[in-house]
């Protein structure tokens, strides 16, 4: 077992039955955490089921059969925090379970928090509350209703909603077009029996990554590995690669009308650059120059010079190779804003990148990468994201790669980025 | 240079304190092994300070709503352009926020701390506001206000404050309205600046892997008190002890109703340990009544009256204090009825000692989590600093809390006459 690991060098400490275990050793945090990720292809067939699973599992497990029992126990463990849920990364759906608890030295000598917290987490995942060899009907019905409400409530946060909708519309004929939580229609088909079948598929066949982080003694780590090795596993599913390169036809224009005061403008692009491609870091710098911060062309021109918006940014969806531009504007200013945005894209294509924009972009990325070492969750997410796309870069490698990107590289990559969809959320009047 | 040190051995944290001759207090919380260095320069001035007497004047002035936030935007403008560009050149992230009682300027960086810190010290002390830039900022802030108008979480919260308060300026949106900011000009911005940005009304906090002596030396060299410590007279309108109204409703583009409800607090002392103790006691009681381990939460959840979005909090400042709890619900008024029933039940039966002990221990443990994050430390430290306490006193308050005190606070705060509810319904 390799124990010489700091938060910037994380490596595998065990691997069996499709479960890979990593340790992030650090003494600077006051808490420890255990993260378990299962991942699956993002498919219409499984999306809603995968989303419903953690919601049902968190309702109770052997020994702690209700939310109340679990909560009482978490309180007894000096306020441990447990959570679970789903996200998507490219065309993968991730089911995450997480527990965080204070380091033993703040709790006193007569309690082993690592064992107790891990046992609870493992119980929640592997020993759900069952009735007649299926999930508890009541839990399924309630959580299906909650999930339905969650899907319908997407519209509440307009800023996030419009970005997600834009990318979904762009990819509506691809797996990426599926929402992280599936759809309301797919939920209707789920019951306590077929979800329990799906649960077995999830537990036995989906590949998993486990991250143990903080100041955990070797004994505790060994205990976790032992516990995980007892999960009954079958043939591990092989997961597809996200398809990134897609030809773009004519630009799609979509307008959605709801009752709002501010218009939300969103532009979705295909970068045609997968995250394991050697050109990926050129794209990262390109995005930073375009809309990745206060130094960026979008912030400077849409907000500071034209005063059209409070926010204007661009962001990458790394795994699917998408880029999105987003801004909140006065409805009547849509054309003006579009004109300024198109102009910025042209400027980069024409090589009009100032030294300031170029240098500030590279430094800003460097700061961001170095900063993530201060959060256990971000460290874990960083490495997990690397592993699922098959890159093994450390934060330092990334900084090196980014520093090597030249202005010419940025102009080159600009040629590959194609506008696919313009999405506008506007008022009903 | 006189540096004071307070060591909090039970949580492995140390605070270094320095007082400048101008009256400015500075603090360093070293975090060994952290990459990020997070520095803040804050003034005890926020959106609620819209009426005051300027130093040396007789009469009070009433300034336009949203001006503290407007000033926050404008301070980034310097003689030679926006100071944001200079931070960007160093690869750091400057930011600022205005709350009810504070305006906070900050940056986070991983390298070249000294240069970044110098920028912060200089730009906050040297406003350069032109008429032209004020006009342009109005367009940008108008879009910020528009964004919040469409944000149901924001609206449901401010509508609750409006239900609580008749006159207290806390009910006014921090950014003001498009109309109120239209009245802001350069002159009135300077009036606010000159009144509230004297070093004696401000504080500096640095959290990260830095040397306290070097930080304080830089402050010694850069902070200038241009005038003697001015007297600041903040004027607050009288506020009745009763609530403004029981129910407020607004329609927005949401899928399902949202609500926030809570109790307007009266008869409290926000300052010092006493304020912190009350805050902790009420948060503890809320956790006991409606936290995830409570029977109320579980009943409401099982009946589909609340979902995962349900949450609760308590705020206490010099002139106002309230609890607030809510989330999404198909029937907010049914939730209200159940909360009222539960409180009546506890009023006759009393609080449960066993859950009090368990939850106290859990909350203390969860406090430790905050200490992992330089941002979280800064945020909490500043918000309690202006109430004249240190956030690192929290663990000790938990240890010294008594059940009798908590019972007394329950009796005071959960007064059903002071319960108000704000609902956002779908259009």
- Model pLDDT for residues B357-401, shown as the tens digit of each residue: 999 999 999 999 999 999 999 999 999 999 889 999 999 999 999
Q: What confidence tier does B85 reach under pLDDT thresholds 50, 70, 90?
A: very high
Please report the pLDDT score of residue A105 as a whole number.
Answer: 86
Q: Does A139 touch chain B (CB under 8 A)?
A: no
Residues B194-240 have pLDDT tens digits of: 999 999 999 999 999 999 999 999 999 999 877 778 888 999 999 99
Q: In the prediction, which pLDDT does A4 show?
A: 36
Residues within 8 A of B (CB atoms), A 195-234 only: none
* Nearest-by-Cβ selection for A78 from B136, B298, B362: B362
pLDDT at B84: 94
Q: What is the pLDDT of residue B55?
A: 86
Q: How far is B82 from chain A (nearest CA, A)?
A: 10
Distance from CA of A17 to the nearest CA of B (A): 33
Compute the distance between CA of residue A407 and CA of residue B369 in angstroms, rounded to an integer. Answer: 42
Select the residue of A28, A102, A107 nearest B34 (Cβ to Cβ). Answer: A28
Residue B276, pLDDT above cutoff 90: yes
Which helix H or strand E contains A196, and what residues bound it? helix A192-205
pLDDT of residue A107: 86
Q: Chains A and B: how many Cβ contacts under 8 Å? A: 195
Mutate to test the interface with A, among B77, B85, B283, B366 (most CBs of A within 10 A): B366
Domains and CATH numbers, chain A: 11-229 (3.30.830.10), 252-426 (3.30.830.10)
Among B residues 223-242, those touching chain A with beta carbons less than 8 Å apart: none
Sequence-distant contacts of A282-285: CB under 8 A, at least 24 apart: A282/A405, A282/A409, A282/A410, A282/A412, A282/A413, A283/A316, A283/A323, A283/A413, A283/A417, A284/A316, A284/A365, A284/A402, A284/A405, A285/A358, A285/A361, A285/A362, A285/A365, A285/A402, A285/A405, A285/A409, A285/A410
A residues 282..341 contacting B (CB < 8 A): 293-295, 303-304, 307-311, 328-330
B 97-156 residues with CB < 8 A to A: 108-111, 136-137, 139-144, 146-147, 149-153
pLDDT for A8: 56
Inter-residue contact B318 to B268 (CB < 8 Å): no
Distance CA B232, CA B188 (A): 16
DSSP codes, B226-243 = -SS----EE------SS-
Mean predicted confidence (pLDDT) in B309-325: 95
B305 interface with A at CB cutoff 8 Å? no
Active site residues of B: 72
Q: Flag if B365 and A293 touch (Cβ within 8 Å).
A: no
Q: Do A159 and B147 touch (CB under 8 A)?
A: yes
Query: Do B308 and A146 count as a contact with CB atoms less than 8 A apart?
Result: yes
DSSP state of A79: S
ipTM for the predicted complex comes to 0.94
As annotated, the residues of chain B forming the CATH 3.30.830.10 domain(s) are 3-234, 247-426
Q: Which of B83, B143, B259, B297 to mutate to test the interface with A (most CBs of A within 10 A)?
A: B143
| Cα–Cα distance list, A350 to A306, A407, B72, B181 (Å) | 22, 11, 36, 40
Classify residue A305 by its DSSP letter: I
Helix B295-302 to helix B272-290 angle (10° resolution) is: 40
Q: Which residues contact B262 (CB under 8 A, 6 or more apart)?
A: B160, B164, B322, B323, B324, B325, B326, B419, B420
Q: Tell which B residues from 337 to 396 touch A, by Cβ distance under 8 Å.
A: 358-359, 361-366, 368-369, 371-374
Inform me whether the pLDDT recorded for B252 exceeds 90: yes
Residues of A in contact with B88 (CB under 8 A): 293-295, 356, 360, 363-364
Closest Cα of chain B to A385: distance in Å?
A: 21
Inter-chain residue contact B88 with A309, CB threshold 8 Å: no
Pick from A180, A164, A158: nearest CA to A317: A164
Contacts of A204 (CB under 8 A, 6+ apart): A232, A233, A234
What whole-number distance in Å separates Cα of residue A261 and Cα of residue B146? 6
Q: Which of B150, B152, B328 sits opposite A262 (nearest CB)?
A: B150
Supply the angle between the helices B67-74 and B186-196 in degrees, to the nearest 10. 90
CA distance B38 to chain A (A): 11
Contact A245, A272 (CB under 8 A): yes
Chain A neighbors of B137, CB-CB under 8 A: 307
Answer whether A149 touches B (CB < 8 Å).
yes
Per-residue pLDDT of chain A (429 residues), as tens digits, is 333 345 656 778 999 999 999 999 998 999 999 999 999 999 999 999 999 999 999 999 999 999 999 999 999 999 999 999 999 999 999 999 999 999 988 887 788 999 999 999 999 999 999 999 999 999 999 999 999 999 999 999 999 999 999 999 999 999 999 999 999 999 999 999 999 999 999 999 999 999 999 999 999 999 999 999 999 999 999 999 999 998 888 999 999 999 999 999 999 999 999 999 999 999 999 999 999 999 999 999 999 999 999 999 999 999 999 999 999 999 999 999 999 999 999 999 999 999 999 999 999 999 999 999 999 999 999 999 999 999 989 999 999 999 999 999 999 999 999 999 999 999 987
- CA–CA gap between residue A298 and residue A305 (Å, rounded): 10
Least CA distance to A83: which residue of chain B?
B308
Within 8 A by CB and 6+ apart from B327, the residues are B258, B259, B306, B307, B308, B309, B310, B311
Whether the CB of A66 is below 8 Å from some CB of chain B: the reply is: yes
Backbone angles phi, psi at A295, to 5 degrees: -80, -10
User: Residue A422: in which H helix or E strand, if any?
Assistant: strand A418-426
Instruction: Note the maximum CA span of chain B.
Output: 67
Q: How many residues does chain A have?
A: 429
* Yes or no, beta carbons of A374 and B302 under 8 Å apart: no
Say what the pLDDT of residue A110 is.
Answer: 81
pLDDT reported for residue A429: 79
Residue of B12, B141, B150 lying closest to A158 (CB–CB): B150
Interchain contact, A367 vs B92, CB within 8 Å: yes
CB < 8 Å to A356, chain B: 85, 88-89
Fold of B247-426: Cytochrome Bc1 Complex; Chain A, domain 1 (3.30.830)
A367/A293 Cα distance (integer angstroms): 12
CATH C-level class of B3-234:
alpha beta
- Model pLDDT, residue B291: 97
pLDDT at A9: 63
Q: How far is A123 from chain B (nearest CA, A)?
A: 19
pLDDT in tens, B141-187: 999 999 999 999 999 999 999 999 999 999 999 999 999 999 999 99
A 153-192 → B contacts, CB under 8 A: 153-159
Our measurement of the distance from residue A282's CA atom to the centroid of its chain's CA atoms, rounded to an integer in Å, reads 22
Q: Which of B255, B355, B426 to mutate to test the interface with A (most CBs of A within 10 A)?
A: B255
A352 interfacial to chain B (CB closer than 8 Å): no
> CB atoms < 10 A from the CB of A230, how many?
10
């Amino acid at each position: 077992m390799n124990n010489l690991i700091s938060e910037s060098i994380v490596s595998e400490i065990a691997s069996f039955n499709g479960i890979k275990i990593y340790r992030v050793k650090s003494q600077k945090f006051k808490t420890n955490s255990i993260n378990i990720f299962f991942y699956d292809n993002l498919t219409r067939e499984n999306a809603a089921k995968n989303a419903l699973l953690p919601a049902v599992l968190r309702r109770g497990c052997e020994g702690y059969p209700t939310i109340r029992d679990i909560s009482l126990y978490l309180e007894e463990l000096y306020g441990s925090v447990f959570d679970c849920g789903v996200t998507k990364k490219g065309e993968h759906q991730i089911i995450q379970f997480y527990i965080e608890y204070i380091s033993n030295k703040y709790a006193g000598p007569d309690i082993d928090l690592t064992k107790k917290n891990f046992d609870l987490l493992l119980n929640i995942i592997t020993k759900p509350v069952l009735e007649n060899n299926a999930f508890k009907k009541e839990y399924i019905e309630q959580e299906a209703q909650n999930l339905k409400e969650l899907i319908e409530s997407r519209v509440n946060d307009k800023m996030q909603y419009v970005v997600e909708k834009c990318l979904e519309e762009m990819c509506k004929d691809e797996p990426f077009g599926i929402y992280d939580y599936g759809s309301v229609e797919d939920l209707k088909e789920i019951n306590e029996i077929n979800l329990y079948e799906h649960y077995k598929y999830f537990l036995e066949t989906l590949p998993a990554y486990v991250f143990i982080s903080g100041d955990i003694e070797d004994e505790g780590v060994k205990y976790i590995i032992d516990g995980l090795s007892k999960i009954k596993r079958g043939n591990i599913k092989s997961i597809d690669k996200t398809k990134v390169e897609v030809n773009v036809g004519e630009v799609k224009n979509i307008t959605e009308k709801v009752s709002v005061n501010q218009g939300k403008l969103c532009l979705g692009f295909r970068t045609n650059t997968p995250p394991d491609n050697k050109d990926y870091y050129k794209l990262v710098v390109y995005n930073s120059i375009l809309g990745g911060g206060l130094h960026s062309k979008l912030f400077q021109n849409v907000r500071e010079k034209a005063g059209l918006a409070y926010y204007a940014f661009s962001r990458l969806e790394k795994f699917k190779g998408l880029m999105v531009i987003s801004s909140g504007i006065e409805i009547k200013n849509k054309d003006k804003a579009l004109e300024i945005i198109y102009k910025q894209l042209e400027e980069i294509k024409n090589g009009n990148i100032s030294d300031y924009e170029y240098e500030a972009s590279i430094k800003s990325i460097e700061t961001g990468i170095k900063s993530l070492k201060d959060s256990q969750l971000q460290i874990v997410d960083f490495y997990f994201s690397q592993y699922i796309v098959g890159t093994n870069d450390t934060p330092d490698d990334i900084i090196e790669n980014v520093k090597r990107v030249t202005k010419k590289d940025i102009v080159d990559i600009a040629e590959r980025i194609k506008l696919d969809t313009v999405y506008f959320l506007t008022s009903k009047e | 240079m006189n540096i004071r040190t307070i060591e909090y051995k039970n949580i492995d944290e140390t605070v270094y304190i320095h007082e400048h001759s101008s009256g400015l207090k500075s603090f360093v919380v070293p975090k060994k092994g952290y990459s990020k260095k997070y520095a803040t320069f804050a003034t005890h001035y926020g959106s609620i300070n819209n009426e005051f007497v300027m130093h040396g004047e007789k009469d009070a002035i009433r300034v336009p709503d949203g001006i503290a936030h407007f000033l926050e935007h404008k301070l980034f403008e310097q003689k030679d352009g926006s100071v944001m560009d200079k931070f960007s050149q160093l690869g750091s992230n400057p930011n600022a926020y205005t709350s009810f009682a504070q305006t906070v300027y900050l940056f986070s960086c991983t390298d070249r701390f000294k240069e970044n810190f110098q920028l912060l010290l200089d730009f906050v002390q040297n406003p350069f506001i032109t008429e032209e830039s004020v006009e342009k900022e109005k367009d940008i802030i108008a879009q910020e206000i528009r964004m919040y108008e469409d944000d149901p979480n924001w609206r449901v919260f401010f509508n609750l404050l409006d239900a609580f308060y008749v006159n207290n300026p806390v009910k006014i949106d921090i950014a003001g309205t498009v109309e109120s900011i239209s009245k802001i000009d350069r002159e009135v911005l300077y009036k606010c600046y000159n009144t509230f940005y004297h070093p004696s009304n401000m504080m500096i906090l640095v959290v990260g892997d830095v040397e306290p002596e070097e930080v304080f030396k830089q402050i010694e060299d850069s902070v200038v008190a241009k005038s003697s410590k001015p007297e600041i007279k903040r004027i607050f309108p009288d506020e009745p002890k009763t609530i403004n109204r029981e129910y407020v409703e607004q329609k927005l583009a949401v899928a399902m109703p949202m609500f926030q409800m809570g109790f307007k607090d009266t008869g409290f002392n926000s300052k010092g340990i006493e304020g912190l103790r009350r805050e902790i006691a009420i948060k503890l009681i809320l956790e006991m009544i409606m936290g995830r381990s409570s029977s109320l939460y579980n009943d409401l959840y099982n009946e589909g009256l609340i979902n995962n979005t349900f949450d609760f909090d308590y705020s206490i400042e010099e002139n106002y204090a309230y609890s607030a709890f809510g989330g999404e619900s198909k029937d907010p008024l049914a939730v209200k009825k159940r909360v009222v029933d539960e409180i009546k039940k506890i009023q006759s039966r009393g609080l449960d000692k066993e859950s009090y002990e368990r939850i106290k221990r859990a909350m203390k443990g969860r406090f430790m989590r905050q200490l992992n994050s330089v941002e979280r430390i800064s945020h909490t430290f500043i918000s309690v600093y202006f109430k004249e306490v240190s956030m690192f006193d929290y663990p000790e308050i938990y240890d010294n809390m008594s059940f009798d005190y908590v019972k007394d606070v329950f009796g005071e705060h959960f007064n059903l006459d002071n319960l108000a509810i704000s609902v956002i319904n779908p259009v």
